[in-house]
Amino acid sequence: MSAPRPLTELTEDEIMFRDAVYGWARDVVGPKVAAMDEHGELDKALLPQMFELGLMGIEVPEELGGAGSSFFSAILAVEALARVDASVAVVVDVQNTLVNNAFLRWGTEAQKSKYLGMLTSKCVGAYALSEPSSGSDAFALRTRAEQRGDAWILNGSKLWITNGNEADVFVVMANVAPEKGYRGITSFIVERGFPGFSVGKKEDKLGIRASSTVELVMQDCVVPAENVLGEVGVGYKIAIETLNEGRIGIGAQMIGLAQGAFDYAMRYMLERKQFGKPIAEFQGLEFQYAQVATEIEAARLMVYNAARLKDAGRPFVKEAAMAKLLSSQVAERAASLAVEFLGGVGFTKEYPVEKFFRDAKIGKIYEGTSNMQLGTIGKLLRQAYGARG
């Protein structure tokens, strides 16, 4: 009897898929990265290719228009894209790990047929939970929903919504019964063209600038009754469970980013000579890049392990929080060191490592800050040790 395959080991098919995504990102996205960053906008020519390549519906069953693959494959795609551009990676990440996942787990058959068909072929999706007054305290949201006849009327605003400029389908959280607290939170499927819905201000960000981050405004926004995702009052559960999976996606983005910065820095250090030899041979640098390479690999294994656990139907919340926490720390450190390894030129926009450095910062903030991850890990550890007596 053969030994079970380790959770972190890649199959030949997975390696081929990862390498194919990276090859496309390197050859097609790579030449556009600097311009997209400068203008703060995704090159719209990329979106049709992303749909054609199946990157926008990796886990969606083939009968609904998707690739019929695994969550782990989506994680590999995000990682591969982030080695080239974290902005393109997060478009794919949000589409797969948040929006598509919400429909797959909570949608009715009619909702899956309609919206997953759109999301896998032509429509970008966005996930709208955060508000001006509710960030880490997500369930303090103030957006309200009131049922009138065969429709729900939504009023409120959302902030920090990724993919907002490109999206046509939005998963929006609103409270239908504020007196019930978080148990009134309900998830709604909102289309861009619904009356009373509009996209507001676009944020001018430090990093991942080509990824749109916008405000959403709902003023008597009319949403058909059949567009409740899940059941009325279970939106908080949808939010928690979806974000638990989404954190693994951010972990993948961060390890890809770290690897991209490290790859460039290593090539530079092998070519750059001082005192008659490549600077990579100086022990002062050697010890630093050996350490950061080890940290990247450790973070990668944590992300892969969390994704495998999720696919296997095993508990993964603690592992997802740990993976996101560590990978965001490693990405920031790796990108910062990459700037230092390049010296003066690393501090200029002519070289890509300064962009990796700027992009890395968001990893400790979105889809749950580092402190929120630590809180989750701590709570689950107390529960585990308490159960042991």
Catalytic positions, please? 367
Cα separation, 234 vs 236, whole angstroms? 5
Cα separation, 103 vs 109, whole angstroms? 9
Q: How many CB atoms lie within 10 A of CB 286?
A: 13
Length of the chain: 389
CB 25 within 8 A of CB 84: yes
> Residues 255, 257, 261, 266: is their CA dihedral positive or negative?
positive
Q: How many CB atoms lie within 10 A of CB 87?
A: 27
Helix 353-360 with 86-93: angle, nearest 10 deg: 40
Cα separation, 255 vs 194, whole angstroms? 38
Terminal-residue alpha carbon distance, the chain: 37
CB 63 within 8 A of CB 75: no
The conformation of residue 67, written as its DSSP 8-state character, comes to -
DSSP alpha helix (H) spans, the chain: 12-24, 33-39, 46-52, 71-82, 86-93, 101-106, 109-111, 117-119, 235-271, 283-311, 317-342, 353-360, 370-388
What would the two tokens of residue 71 be?
A: 């969550």
146, β-bridge pairs = 153
CB 125 within 8 A of CB 169: yes
What would the two tokens of residue 38 be?
A: 């400068």
